[in-house]
Chain A
Amino acid sequence: GAVVSQHPSRVICKSGTSVKIECRSLDFQATTMFWYRQFPKQSLMLMATSNEGSKATYEQGVEKDKFLINHASLTLSTLTVTSAHPEDSSFYICSAADRPRGGQRVTDTQYFGPGTRLTVL
């Protein structure tokens, strides 16, 4: 159980175009989804936290107009990289946390997707 998928797994696009990445929880309802970015030889960097039906909370330094996040349902969140540039090339990973149960914090256990490799030419 607790499977998270991402699509696409790899995308190459031209500079100036927009790219949408989907993150789906396949067998559970995810009240909260997280988007991370990972540069080579660096740790995962949290970009934003999204809760179903509300606006995403972005980490400091992350441009919300550039990285649009939509969490329209309990099983789907999307990240759109708008007007992508070569410096946006990176590995983007999503994770999902299921519904909290009696006192459990929602961020306690995250289930990760396989990641999406974005290359902007």
Chain B
Amino acid sequence: AQSVSQHNHHVILSEAASLELGCNYSYGGTVNLFWYVQYPGQHLQLLLKYFSGDPLVKGIKGFEAEFIKSKFSFNLRKPSVQWSDTAEYFCAVRGYQKVTFGIGTKLQVIP
């Protein structure tokens, strides 16, 4: 069975601080990996995704994530967060036919 764990459930940062949100998955086969973001009062939106190729994936709004196969990780990063990045972030993994989501990390950016 595939599973996803997100280590940080609630992160508070000041504006301009760097961000790294951890995501580890458990699955023995080929995976596709995703980060979704849910801004307050809005739908879940795709932030970035990894299918194959360059393990460093760049997404919207300056976010990037690195797939490290040996560590089963797909951590999300942003060098300098803004107040508008306040949201909940979900890591997801697609194994065979199914997408599994992590529990989510709430990011609060203080101006």
Contact = CB atoms under 8 A, between A and B. Distances in A.
A42 B104 CA distance: 8
Interface range, B side:
20 to 34
A107 B98 contact: yes
Interface residues of A, number: 22
Nearest to A45: B101
A18 B77 CA distance: 44
A108 B32 contact: yes
Contacts of B32: 105, 108
Contact of B43 (A4, A43, A49, A109): A4
B39 to A, nearest CB: 12
A107 B31 CA distance: 12
Contact of A112 (B45, B49, B94, B98): B45
Interface string B35-57: 01000001111100101000000
Given A105-B32, A110-B99, A113-B43, A44 B90 contact: yes
B45 A107 contact: no
A107 B99 contact: yes
A44 B101 contact: yes
Interface of A: 4, 34, 36, 41-44, 46, 49, 59, 93, 95, 105, 107-115
4 nearest A-B pairs in the assembled complex, by CB-CB distance: A112-B44, A44-B101, A43-B103, A43-B101
17 contacts: A4-B43, A36-B101, A43-B4, A43-B101, A43-B103, A46-B100, A49-B97, A49-B98, A59-B98, A107-B98, A107-B99, A108-B94, A110-B46, A110-B99, A113-B43, A114-B42, A115-B43
Interface of B: 4, 32, 36, 42-46, 49, 51, 90, 94, 97-104
